[in-house]
Amino acid sequence: MSACNLKNFFKRMFTKGEKPATGEPVRQFIEFDKNLIDKNAIKVVSIIHKAGYEVYLVGGCVRDLLLDLKPKDFDIATNAKPEQVNKLFKRSRLIGRRFRLVHVLFSARDFLEVATFRSGKVQTAKNGVIVRDNHYGRIEDDVMRRDFNINALYYDLQKKEVIDYVGGLKDIAAGEIHMIGNAKKRFAEDPVRMIRAIRFAEKLGSEMSEEIKTAIFKQAHLLGNISSARLYEECIKLFQNEYSFAVYEQLEEYGLLKYLFKQTHKNDFIKKACNNTSERIKLGKPVTPAFLFAVFLWQAQNERFALIKRKQRSFHLAQLQACDEAIVNQIKQVSMPRYLTSKIKDVWMMQSKLEKIQPKKVQSLLDNRSFRMAYDFLLLRSQSINPELKKAVDFWTKAQE
């Protein structure tokens, strides 16, 4: 069912006054396009179902299916305990400390996550952050631990029914994002939910509730308590998509950006690079977080360089130090694997070499493994903050032919 059909469904439902009794979920028969559902997810659900357990697709995949979007991943929720799920699959493993989950493996990179219903009873630290969340529960409880109404829908593959306890269907149809429970409290429990709200608002073209907006404005600083490793994963989701720059602007507007990239300030280069990333994704071209991170930190690196150069005579050493300092500052907030930081440095260090063309060095630069990315970087600079680089770009464009 598409969003449009969903809207009609709700118009009918509410004009007829078919609201379910309180406490009872809405059950809506919906047949999704089979091609949009992961074959492995169908298999896993069917095996758990045949073993006699309750089992559903849940969360973002149901939301996306309702909107005719191809889900990024499929999450499965069941009343079977992790050990029971683990026994059903030869190739599966128990993971997680804060909460235990099962990964059913299909290949080295391909797995599905199966989670047992949790009660939502969470143990929080003094600052409100969840430290333990491992009490099993029923589906009614599992719903309440999820972040937004739109993310708390369950799909019964056997009955082809969406099960909605919180009004998620209505919110999807209306294009609204509402928190499950009190927004202030739920953001304090897990501040990452704030950046998730921003991301979903842009992805779905939806509007966050006033309660959510106010709570983010007031509590943006809590994002500063999140581990840099977790924020790395989240940053990739924030910016490597078709709506990258809109997310950037919203993060800035809500005061969240400085807890991810405190050295970054908006300019045309950033806009150009975010939009370029979105274009590449639409065309199915590969993208790497190294590129956007390099763009976000470029100005900071330049400013460091200008300062260091006053004392350091060697251009090369000053450049190296500036790169290191910009990166060290950044990974305090958002960590990055080493291969990424070394790629970023390569791209930065190559800029001055590409700017000043030295005939003897052309071939070795063309052969450099980071040439292509450094060239793209130079190109976007020339199309935004450094129009004077057009000549150099033209040279390198021809040199590749």
Where do contacts with Mg ion occur on this chain (CB under 5 A)? 60, 73
168 near ligand ATP (CB under 6 A): no
171 near ligand ATP (CB under 6 A): no
Judged by CB, which is closer to Mg ion: 73, or 388?
A: 73
Judged by CB, which is closer to ligand ATP: 176, or 325?
A: 176
Contact call for residues 102 and 69 (beta carbons, < 8 A): no
**Per-residue x/- marks for ligand ATP, 54-73, CB under 6 A?**
-----xx-----------xx
Among 55, 76, 147, 341, binds ligand ATP (CB under 6 A): 147
Least distance to ligand ATP from the beta carbon of 336, Å? 20
Cα–Cα distance, 114 to 131 (Å, whole number):
21
- Work out what residue 272 binds among Mg ion, ligand ATP, none; the CB cut-off runs from 5 to 8 Å by kind: none
Judged by CB, which is closer to ligand ATP: 72, or 282?
A: 72
Least distance to Mg ion from the beta carbon of 59, Å? 6
Q: Which residue is nearest to ligand ATP (CB)?
A: 60
Least distance to Mg ion from the beta carbon of 389, Å? 40
- Work out what residue 190 binds among Mg ion, ligand ATP, none; the CB cut-off runs from 5 to 8 Å by kind: ligand ATP
Active site (catalytic) residues: 73, 75, 147
SS3 sequence of the chain: CCHHHHHHHHHHHHHCCCCCCCCCCEEEECCCCHHHCCHHHHHHHHHHHHCCCCEEEECHHHHHHHCCCCCCCCEEEECCCHHHHHHHCCCEEEECCCCCEEEEECCCCCEEEEEECECCCCEECCCCCEEECCCECCHHHHHHCCCEHHHCEEEECCCCEEEECCCHHHHHHHCEECECCCHHHHHHHCCHHHHHHHHHHHHHCCEECHHHHHHHHHHHHHHHHCCHHHHHHHHHHHHCCCCHHHHHHHHHHCCCHHHCCCCCCCCHHHHHHHHHHHHHHHCCCCCCHHHHHHHHHHHHHHHHHHHHHHHCCCHHHHHHHHHHHHHHHHHCCCCCCHHHHHHHHHHHHHHHHHHCCCHHHHHHHHHCCCHHHHHHHHHHHHCCCCHHHHHHHHHHHHHCC
230 near ligand ATP (CB under 6 A): no
Q: How many residues bind ligand ATP (CB under 6 A)?
A: 13
**Per-residue x/- marks for ligand ATP, 173-192, CB under 6 A?**
-----------------x-x
- Work out what residue 103 binds among ligand ATP, Mg ion, none; the CB cut-off runs from 5 to 8 Å by kind: none
Least distance to ligand ATP from the beta carbon of 190, Å? 5
Contact call for residues 246 and 270 (beta carbons, < 8 A): no
Least distance to Mg ion from the beta carbon of 61, Å? 6
Least distance to Mg ion from the beta carbon of 196, Å? 10
Judged by CB, which is closer to Mg ion: 33, or 73?
A: 73
Judged by CB, which is closer to ligand ATP: 152, or 322?
A: 152
Q: Which residue is nearest to Mg ion (CB)?
A: 60
Q: Note the residues at the interface with ligand ATP (CB under 6 A).
A: 59-60, 72-73, 75, 146-147, 151-152, 190, 192-193, 237
